Structure formats: C-alpha cells, structure tokens
Amino acid sequence: MHQRRTTASKSSSRTQSSYSNGKRPASNSRRRKKQQPSNIALRAAIFVISFILATLVIVANHLFGTNATNSASTNNVNKRDLLRFYLRNKDKGMASIPDDVNDPAAKARAEQREARYHSLYRPKFNQTQLGYDIYNCPSTPPENYPMAWTTVEVLRNWMPHDFTTIAPANRQIYQGLCVFDYTTQYDAALTYRNAELPFIIRNDPNVMSVARRWEDDTEYLHNALGDERLFRTERSPVNDFMWYRLRGKGTKPRGFVKPPNDEVSMSYGEWLERALAKDAEALQGEELSAMVNELKERRMKLITRKKQDDSLENDDRDQDNSTEEEKLKNWYYFRLTASLSKAIEGSPSDNFVYDELPFFDPRKRSKSQFYIVDPSEERGINCRFGMRGVIAANHFDMSRNFIMIFGGERRYILGHPNQCKNMALHPAGHPSVRHSKVDWNNPLEWDQNPEFKQARVNEVVLHAGDALYLPTAYFHYIVNLSLNYQCNARSGTTHENAKHIRECGFNMG
C-alpha cells in the first residue's frame, strides 16, 4: 500500500487588549476563560499531528523494519530509503509495493541470505586500490572503469571447478563492477546503463518479490511447472557445457569434436530432484537429502501410474533414458523460455513467465523501462536454471543483456569486447562460434594459448535479487555455485564496440 505524507501548519492567534471607550481591560480570570477554547483547539491540533507522525513511523517500521544499513559494503536494503522511494515515485507509476514486502518471515529469510552471502564472497580490493568504491560509485563513470586483471590472476585465485564454499571459508572476489541500490542510486545506474557500461543493481522491490517466491518456497515453481510437462534441458556427463550448433544435415567441420553435452526433455520436478541432489552431496545436508528422496518417490509413483493407465500422457520422445545411476552422475541445465507473441496468443506457460517477471515485459513500461532498453528489439525471456557445478563456456552475445538471479548464486567472469583477440575463440563458421576453445580450468591449455593468459577480466558473484547489465558483445563465463534460478532478457544491439568484434573476424551487421 502507498503511504502518504501528511503535513499540517500550526497557527496561533494573539489576543490584543485595548483600552477603548475609556474601559479597563477584562480581568485575568475572564481573559483565561476567553482563551480556553483557542488553547484546547491548539492542543488538539498538536495531538493529531503527533499521532499521525507516530503512526507513519510505526507503519514504516512494520513494513520495512528499523535497521538501516550500517555499511555500504553489505548493501542491505535501507528500509527508510525504500519508504522514501515509494513516496517519491508512487505518482510516477514507477513504484508499487509488492504484496509480500511486509512478511516478517520473508524479511528474516532475506536477512539470513544476505548475511550468508557477504560472509562467503568478499571483494578483494578496496576504494584506494580500485580508485572508486564499488558500493558508492560516482555518478560519472571513472576512466578506468571497470577495473580488470589478467585471466591467470583471477583463475588462479579461484579455479572454476572449485565451486563449493562452506563457512568459515570465504572467497576473495576480483570485483571491478559497481553495485547500485535501486531505491537510492537509480539515476547513477541509469547513467552507467546509458553509457553502455556493465554494473549490478540490487533491491528493486519487484525483483526481490520474485526472489522471495522462487527461492523461499521450493514448491512454488514446482506447482506451476509440474511433474508431467517436459522442458528442453541440456545434459552432460561432465560439468563443462559448450554451446554448439550443427547446420545442414549434421555436417561437421574438419577436426570438430562434438562436446559431450546434448539436449533431452525433462520435467521441472525431476530437474529439481537432480539439482537438490548435487547440493545435498556437496553440503552433506540431511534436510536436502530428505527433499531429494521425497521428490524421487513422487516421480516413481507417477511413472507407475503412467504404466498402469494408458489414458495418461506418456510421451517418451527425447526423454532422458539414462539409468538412475547415470542420472546421479549427470549434470543438467534446465531451460524455460517465453515469447511475447505466444503470450499474446494466450500460451499459459509464456503468460506465466511474463506475469512473474513484469520488469521484462515491454508492455509494462512503468516496471520494465530500466531493464528493457529498446522495447522494439525485445527478444523474449530466457531462463536457465542451474545446478551446482555446471559451467557455461566463455562467449559473447550480439545484443545488450539484463541478467537476473532469483535464487542461489552464480559466478560470472567478465571481459570487455576489446579483449576479443585474447579470448582464443572458435572462428566464424565453427559450430561453437563466439565461444572460447580454452578450458578455463586447465592451466596446460592456457599455456597452449598464450594470448589467453594476457586477457583482462573481472568477476562478480550474483545472488537472489541481483540484476547484471551486460552491454553488447561483453564476454561472460558462468559457474553455477548452487541450485539457482536465472532469467535474462535482451533488447537491442549497440555498436560502440563493433570494431573490436570485427577485428576478431565477426560481423555485427
């Protein structure tokens, strides 16, 4: 609900005595009697104003809590700033308070997530070393922004296959990107976006609302996506995934070795079971193991029902027919995509995604104007749900991109397009075009591609509620640090870095 500022002005009247017609002023007692109604009215007005102000404070504390951020480095939500944000923007159509914003249990879980996240992943460099404070970046981007280091420095500090961190251990992050708060630093973030520079923005109330639904309640998406409908899912016996596309009748260029990953169809329920199993194995969590067993029992009952009842849909096309033992060893990357044209036509699943993520809907400009930069170039919503350890090979895309995390954590190693020549990319025409051919976890391959060792990169770890802006052609290498929910939307191509891409042999049009 929207809060309104209530202001009142106090006025007082002064009684003046005059000697008119030669008469003496009234006695003190008579004067007090005449002033009594005025004094009562004044006290009543003061009481009403105080009551209203106190009520606003109580409501604000009830909705947003009383603890403001103590440190910019933790970047927790500043509740008072959030309240001011709503009051400031409620008439502009920019801000609406999600229904679950005043749920005490949800707030407690969010605070636990923040505390855990900041204890595990800590920026390695401070303001003195970077030349700017990543949590309080200047409105004018610094000349050296974003700071970058060689791939060797970043990767040796934290090898990609080392994807599980358990407290009290922590990771020192080579972070050069600014982190903006949506409620207090919106204008600064907009400046960086318009300058086509990468950054992170946090604490958008509508984004946080999705994170609360998707991460806090494992059954929310399960109930929505079910156990029977099958979705496109990538599968691999190893955790490194390489994108490829064979054109024509599967013809392969000379020397091409097909990556081990392929695609199958899988229900969301089974993917969730597999992803939780990876977390349970890494964390030795009894509660997680119990959830895995429950999901497996549920899946087995459905399989039995389908075998016994011919009327139930039993489409085995492209399903993962691996044995249960093989599935435990496999890695899976779940896909959920939505097309605006299909949503308009009434597709239930496409409408579900657009309804869940209104900030990616070009029709809802009050919520999407920051994230969908060019609505005419909107290209749908692409969600990739990852399990712990899954790695997506380094690559660049031909459009600007907003990437959001609604649960779990992901590590992104990022490179400016001007590093294209150093990224050891597969060339145009190759099935894995635009992707690095180097195994980032294998120092021997670094030595075989010496230019790669000179590439300059930085990194971030995103968690629930984070949105990462990547300009056109920005390189990104992805490590899934836990079960996580990621969705992204693209909206238009810019050409400020086209020369770097052309120098690498790629045509941006």
Q: What is the pLDDT of residues 21-47, one digit of tens each?
A: 333 334 444 444 444 555 566 666 666
* Percentage of residues in the chain having pLDDT higher than 70: 77
pLDDT at position 107 is 84
Label residue 218 by pLDDT band (50, 70, 90). Answer: confident
- The pLDDT tens digits for 154-169 are 999 999 999 999 999 9
Phi-psi region of 197 (alpha: psi -120 to 50; beta: other; left: phi over 0): beta
pLDDT digit string, tens, across residues 255-309: 889 999 999 999 999 999 999 999 999 999 899 999 999 999 999 999 898 888 7
Average pLDDT over residues 485-498: 95
Q: What is the pLDDT of residues 371-385, one digit of tens each?
A: 999 999 999 999 999
Query: pLDDT, tens digit, for every residue of 439-466?
Result: 999 999 999 999 999 999 999 999 999 9
pLDDT average, residue stretch 5-10: 38
CA distances from 110 to 100, 337, 388 (A): 12, 27, 21
The answer to whether the CB of 303 falls within 8 A of the CB of 320 is: no
pLDDT band at 75 (very low <50, low <70, confident <90, very high): very low
C-alpha 443 chain-centroid distance? 31
The two tokens of residue 387 are 């399990």
pLDDT bin (cut points 50, 70, 90) of residue 56 is low
Tokens of 84: 């001011």
Residue 67: pLDDT over 60:
no
- Look at the chain and count its residues: 509
Rounded distance between C-alpha atoms, residue 63 and residue 301, angstroms: 43
Q: How far is CA 148 from CA 120, 153, 477, 497, in A?
A: 22, 10, 15, 17
Q: Do β-strands 484-491 and 240-241 pair in parallel, antiparallel, or remain unpaired?
A: unpaired
* 242 pLDDT higher than 80: yes
Q: What are phi and psi of 500, to 5 degrees?
A: -65, -40
Average pLDDT of the residues of the chain: 84
pLDDT of residue 34: 44
Q: Does residue 248 surpass a pLDDT of 80?
A: no
List all residues 6 or more positions away from 427 whose beta carbon is below 8 Å from its beta carbon.
433, 505
